[in-house]
Amino acid sequence: MANIFDFSAVLINNERISLKKYMGKVILIVNTASRCGFTHQYEGLQKLYDKYSDKGLIILGFPCNQFMNQEPEVESNIKQFCENVYHITFPLFQKINVNGRDTHPLYKYLKEEAPGPLGIRRIFWNFTQFLVDRDGKVIQRFQPITEPINLSKRIEELL
C-alpha cells in the first residue's frame, strides 16, 4: 500500500467508504472510546474540526474497545453519545481493533508508517492520533496525552 487512500472502512451508519474520499485533505485519525479518561478529547477534536475543516482538515474517529472495555456500546449508542454530549460532526466509523490478529488493515498500515516510542508499533491506549498529509502520507503519531489543541501548529503547517 502506497498511502491511506488505498484503504476503506465502514462508517458508523454501516456505509463502506474508500478513504480516497478524503484525497487532498489533511487527515487526523484517532481511535476513540466513550468511557475513557481521555474521552474529553472529543471536545478538543471537534474544536479542531470546527476551526480547520473549511481549510481542508478531516478528522476520522474509530471507536475501539480493546483498552479495559472502555467502548462497550453498540454503534448506534456511540453515535448518539458523541452527537449529544460532544456535538461531534466529523466522521465516525464502526468499532475496530487497533492491535492483535484482528487489527483493521488501516491501523496495521498506520502503525508501520509511524511507530510509537522506541519503535513499538502497538497502540498503547485510546485517543492515539495519526496525522496524515494531503497526499496520504502518515506524518506523525501522537500519544493520548497530547491534547488535540496542541496539534494546531502541526496541522496549520500541512494545510
Residue 136 region, left (φ>0) first, then alpha (ψ -120 to 50), else beta?
left
Name the grid cell of 141.
Answer: 503519531
Which candidate in 12, 28, 36, 106 is catalytic? 36
H/E stretch holding 27 reads: strand 26-32
Cα–Cα distance between 92 and 99 in angstroms, integer? 19
Question: How does strand 57-63 pair with strand 26-32?
Answer: parallel
Please indicate whether residue 36 is annotated as part of the active site: yes
Name the residue among 61, 44, 69 with its Cα closest to residue 145.
44
Cα–Cα distance between 123 and 144 in angstroms, integer? 10
Cα–Cα distance between 103 and 109 in angstroms, integer? 10
- What are the residue numbers of the active site? 36
